[in-house]
Amino acid sequence: MADGLVSLPHWMERGRGGEGERGEKLRNQKWGCFTSIRPTDNMRIILTIFFGVLFGFFIGVSFPTLSLTKFNPSSTLLPEADFSNSYGGNIETLVKPVLNATESPHLNDSSKIWAPSNPRGAERLAPRIIAAESDLYLHRLWGNPNEDLTSTPKYLVTFTVGYDQRNNIDAAVKKFSENFTIVLFHYDGWTTEWGEFEWSKRAIHISAPKQTKWWYAKRFLHPDIVAPYDYIFIWDEDLGVENFDAERYIKLVRKHGLEISQPGIESKTRITWKMTKRRDDFEVHKETDEKPGRCPDPHLPPCAAFIEIMAPVFSRDAWRCVWYMLQNDLVHGWGLDFVLRKCVEPADDKIGVVDSQWVVHQSVPSLRNQGEQYEGKSPWRGVRERCLNEWSMFQDRLAHAERAYFSSTRTGPSKLKSL
């Protein structure tokens, strides 16, 4: 059952306790923002990012050996396996032009460069060397870097997972073609075990104990890092994908101009917001009616410009905005769904639900007997209270920020001019 995942900060971890009946009852509603947590070694934080560190390190170590020995006769004088200096080759030929820079008209003193249009902090660099964006493509350690990639996926899908849900994730991943980069955020410390799945080799595994989906997203999906992806799926682990195909989904999203979307939801349990419920008479819907009183304005959430945070899909541009709205400390992401509309214009046209590619919310009650007691409350209650608390904190921050913005513009230059 999960909109997000359970994450208890270490200071909340004070010994395990059972859940009350109330937790039991409430867990069957939308409000449970958790799923199973395997007890894990709390003392360690393991961030397993395969591609970055290894690739960078080995390229650094091996580059001179690879290319220079061919061109530099003096390197043959060095013992073949001389790793006394870690470059293992004739480093002087690489360093010389740098030391001699003042004599070269093309290599002026770099402190004289100041390019204000560069990204902040990089103004001293020649603009043409700036690599401002990256991706999550896996490279090999040898050969010509230009020839490393056999394909360049256009889409990204992330799942925040525990090992218990591996079979569900296995089924889900198979609905995403080779045009997708797959990232798994592991909240339970189990990573190498996923090697049993063939696709796991091409997936990127990032592991940090007991964190939520939005915690990972804020830290590992910076818009500059995921820049090459047209669409980004940031999904929970308990979605049934029998009636879903990612390529077809994207086709529909493009066709209907959806910048922020989710698949229609079928669920055995009650669906909180009618907007997200799959409609079988539509390909895509962008508005709904609701219970009386819920939608004072039919063009605003939860009747329009609204999706939930369980299975969102963002366009590149929308994600660039939404990422900045994610608060570093509000890890559950509650309240986000109501303000996603601030990132696209017109929101009631660019936010919608894809009905003909739909998923089942399985509401896996996997939090049972997990979590920790906190201030005498059952684990379940403690987390739920935090979710709600985060929601109101988020609302407050947003309201304050907008008030500050508008009051500053009111007393700003435009006001003075009119005086």
Contacts with ligand NAG by CB under 6 A lie at: 96, 99-100, 103, 105-106, 108, 177, 179, 247
Is the previous residue joined to 346 through a cis bond, with omega within 30 degrees of 0?
yes
CA-CA-CA-CA dihedral for 315, 321, 325, 331, to nearest 10 = 30
At closest approach, how far in Å is the CB of 101 from ligand NAG?
Answer: 9
At closest approach, how far in Å is the CB of 262 from ligand NAG?
Answer: 21
Q: Which of 90, 366 has the CB closer to ligand NAG?
A: 90
Is the previous residue joined to 228 through a cis bond, with omega within 30 degrees of 0?
no
Q: Which of 115, 321 has the CB closer to ligand NAG?
A: 115
Q: Which of 307, 354 has the CB closer to ligand NAG?
A: 354
Q: How far is CA 211 from the centre of its chain?
A: 12
Q: Is 18 exposed, middle or buried (0-12, 13-18, 19+ CB in 10 A)?
A: exposed
At closest approach, how far in Å is the CB of 114 from ligand NAG?
Answer: 12
User: Whole-angstrom distance between the N-terminal and C-terminal Cα of the chain?
Assistant: 58
Q: Which of 105, 376 has the CB closer to ligand NAG?
A: 105
Nearest to 285 by CA among 267, 305, 310: 305
Q: Which of 72, 395 has the CB closer to ligand NAG?
A: 72
Give, to the nearest 10 degrees, the angle between helix 92-99 and helix 50-71: 90
At closest approach, how far in Å is the CB of 147 from ligand NAG?
Answer: 20
Q: Which of 114, 406 has the CB closer to ligand NAG?
A: 114
Please check whether residue 347 is in contact with residue 341, taking contact to mean a CB–CB distance below 8 angstroms: yes
Rg (CA), the chain: 25
Nearest to 308 by CA among 264, 252, 368, 348: 264
At closest approach, how far in Å is the CB of 92 from ligand NAG?
Answer: 9
At closest approach, how far in Å is the CB of 247 from ligand NAG?
Answer: 4
